[in-house]
């Protein structure tokens, strides 16, 4: 695979993968906790919407790496670290409170498997481009 083909493939995959936090975050901001279940507490809903806004922001920042993706290693690594920390918190919750829904398990897979793999791929593309990998 040529460098340009690989770079474009990574850009496309990041664009598609970014739909998950952007759409999930937007849904959470607009519908709050009631979007997941009928009953909710106002304070919990407020916190849920705040965290949804962070999720939306993370997705938008991942999208911001798409143009010139081979030069965005520092931001990509930082975002990956944030996502993995969130995934580890979710994993701890699984251990402490039990197995969540399939949707939450899929999110866990995105956080602890897909995002780190995308980060490794981004580093590979940056190395192939000769861009500094900091």
Of 111, 91, 129, which is closest to residue 17 (Cα–Cα)?
A: 111
83-126 pLDDT per residue, tens: 999 999 999 999 999 999 999 999 999 999 999 999 999 999 99
In a domain, 97, yes or no: yes
Residue at 66 is within a domain: yes
- What pLDDT does residue 133 have? 72
Domain count, the chain: 1
Residue 44, exposed/middle/buried by CB under 10 A (0-12, 13-18, 19+)? exposed
- In a domain, residue 134? The reply is no
The tens digit of pLDDT for each residue in 57-89 reads 999 999 999 999 999 999 999 999 999 999 999
What mean pLDDT comes out for the span 33-56? 90
| Among 3-12, 98-107, 125-134, the least confident range | 125-134
Q: Please check whether residue 20 lies inside any domain of the structure.
A: yes
Domain with 117 in it: 3-129
């Amino acid at each position: 695979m040529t460098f340009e083909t690989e770079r474009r493939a990574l850009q496309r995959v990041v664009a598609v993968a970014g739909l998950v936090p952007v759409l999930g975050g937007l849904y959470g901001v607009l519908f709050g906790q009631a979007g997941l279940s009928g009953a909710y507490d106002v304070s919990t809903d407020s916190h849920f919407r705040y965290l949804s806004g962070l999720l939306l922001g993370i997705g938008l920042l991942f999208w911001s790496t798409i143009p010139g993706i081979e030069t965005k290693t520092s931001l990509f690594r930082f975002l990956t670290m944030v996502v993995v920390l969130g995934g580890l918190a979710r994993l701890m919750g699984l251990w402490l409170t039990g197995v969540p829904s399939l949707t939450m398990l899929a999110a866990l897979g995105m956080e602890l498997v897909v995002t780190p793999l995308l980060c490794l791929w981004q580093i590979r593309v940056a190395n192939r481009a000769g861009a500094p990998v900091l």
